[in-house]
Structure 1
Amino acid sequence: MAEEEAGSLIWAKRLVLLPLAALVALAALFFLSAWIGSSIPRNGDWQEPADGIEIMVGTNGVHTELVLPIVTPVKDWRADFPTSDIPAAYRPYTHVAVSWGEREVFLNTPTWADLTLSTALGAATGGDSLLHVAHYVRPAPSDDFRPLRLTEAQYARLVAEIEHAILAPAARKTYPGYAEWDVFYDAPGTYHLGKTCNQWTSDTLAAAGVKTGWWTPMTGGVMKWVPAPSS
């Protein structure tokens, strides 16, 4: 009887540990693949020009965004992202930060502590998308806001790629942001593990001809290609 109980206990432990081991192995495979994929360059011969239009690549440690001057000879973003869509419309904004991501994650997780397993699984397996647009006043270069200079032609290609993610004002809804200076908009596309928010950032940079990684599901895979400003 004791041997039977010991055998049952061993099988019970295996039933618990095997799925956990499989999850750990899948997670390890994902992170390894992300590291390898983000280390393979696209546009490997690109070099930052000495003159041109300065943008920034921003990060909060999990999510990346493209920080763009509101008005340049190439593009005026005020028609696409009017300040009338945000509560603090009166401030002298100089830049807009644009990012793309999964609807439920964006709207229901103002902090990462609010992220639930069901929301994460839903995003990973396929979810509707939104654009997040934040308005900034003279953002200072830092490790989290890294300047990147583009030629006018490269910036024009970047703009064209972003415009693919913008629906006409009459065809989209707006949703309150996390603060007084940001807002969400309906956007085309489906979010999944192969097309994350950070992948959208690197794909947009790549479309402009900028050197970046092939597969960048995490923020580090994007930011390692953009040098931090020297102190």
Structure 2
Amino acid sequence: MKRLIRFAGLVLLAVIVAVALGTLVPRPLFQSGEAGQGPLRRILVLTNPIHTDIAVPIDDDLLERFGFLREAGLPVDLSEARYLVFGWGSRAFYIGTPTWSELSAGPVFRALTLDNSAMHVEVAGDIPEPNPAVAAYEIGEAGFQRLLAFIEQGFRQGANGPELIQGAAYGDYDAFFEANGYFNALVGCNTWTAGALRAAGLQTGWWNPLPVTLGYSLRLHN
């Protein structure tokens, strides 16, 4: 029993050290300064206790680039629409847990081990700022285009483009699509968000599996 307790303690210590170093060590190691070069584009990072999304302001170019969203039935042309909100995550957990009250063991187990992934897209109106769950970043045009390319690469392509997951939406303003890559506890939704922000020219921590560590690393390194 003592050996088991000692082993568990060492594992916990290793996880704490990995999370701390993953937050404090910047990635990339050196900031290019490109993210702050004009003309600037403003994006938002939305946070809840376990997940992060990226909100991109809607304009004609964005709607043309992601035209498949309209074809999938998303109401991107509403006059009240202001943002497209993108997130990547565990297919089972994402779709199977629309609210905390619907949390169940199966999706949690899949998310903690290995699961297929899904892209979630939501049409959002005005997002109030300042807000503890909202962080805004100004990025250059080149970084903005790389961010959009990174997001596009998250969608799995079928014969007719990105593959809509039928009947999986939370409501009338969102949709799920099949995604590239596999989800697990080490490489999850927040590491995807971090990768997208690095593509945009921002620095994150080296490894950020949690929203709180990603948020801290963004504030620390940018």
Bin for the TM-score computed over the shorter chain: 0.7 to 0.9
Shift in Å, 1:209: 1.9
Change (3 A) 1:118 1:76: same
TM-score, normalised to structure 2, is 0.81
Write the distance in 2 (CA, Å) between the matches of 1:26 and 1:64.
Answer: 26
Alignment of 1:194-213 (within 5 A): 194-213=186-205
What TM-score do you get using the length of structure 1 for normalisation?
0.78
Unaligned 5+ segments in structure 1 are: 1-13
Match of 2:149 in 1: 160
Report if aligned partners of 2:147, 2:197 keep a CA contact under 8 Å in 1: yes
Partner of 1:33 in structure 2? 18
Q: Which residue of the other structure, out of 136, 141, 166, is the alignment partner of 2:124?
A: 136
Whole-angstrom CA distance in 2 between matches of 1:159 and 1:114:
32
Question: 1:61-100 CA distances to partner (integer Å, 9 max, x unpaired)?
Answer: 2100011012265774551422863479745211011010
Change in Cα spacing, 1:62 to 1:28, as seen in structure 2 (3 Å) is farther
1:161-176 equivalences under 5 Å are: 161-168=150-157, 170=160, 171-174=162-165, 175-176=167-168
Give the equivalent residue in structure 2 for 1:108: 96
Aligned-pair RMSD on alpha carbons? 2.9
The answer for unaligned runs of 5 or more in structure 2 is: none
The aligned counterpart of 1:182 is: 174
Whole-Å separation in 1 of the counterparts to 2:62 and 2:71: 20
Q: What percentage of aligned pairs have identical amino acids?
A: 24
The alpha-carbon deviation at position 163 of structure 1 amounts to 1.0
- Alpha carbons 2:120, 2:174 under 8 Å: kept: yes
When structure 1 is superposed on structure 2, of 131-140 and 117-126 the one drifting more is 117-126
Task: Label 1:101 to 1:20 Cα distance change in 2 as closer, same or farther (>3 A).
Answer: farther
Amino acid across the alignment from 2:55 = V
- Contact 1:194 1:217 survives alignment (8 Å): yes
The structure number with the bigger radius of gyration is 1
The alpha-carbon deviation at position 194 of structure 1 amounts to: 2.9
Would the aligned equivalents of 1:74 and 1:156 in 2 still touch at CA under 8 Å? no
8 Å contact from structure 2 (residues 163, 177) kept in 1: yes
Measured after TM superposition, the shift of residue 225 of structure 1 is: 3.5
SS at structure 1 position matched to 2:69:
coil
1:99-135 CA-partner distances (Å, limit 9, x unpaired): 1000110011123343334432322221100011111
SS at match of 2:120: strand
Q: Counterparts of 1:87 and 1:156 in 2: how far apart (Å)?
A: 23
Give the 3 Å change call, closer, same or farther, for CA 27–75 of structure 1 in structure 2.
farther
Which residue in the other structure is 2:110 paired with?
A: 122
Alignment-derived partner of residue 42 in structure 1: 27
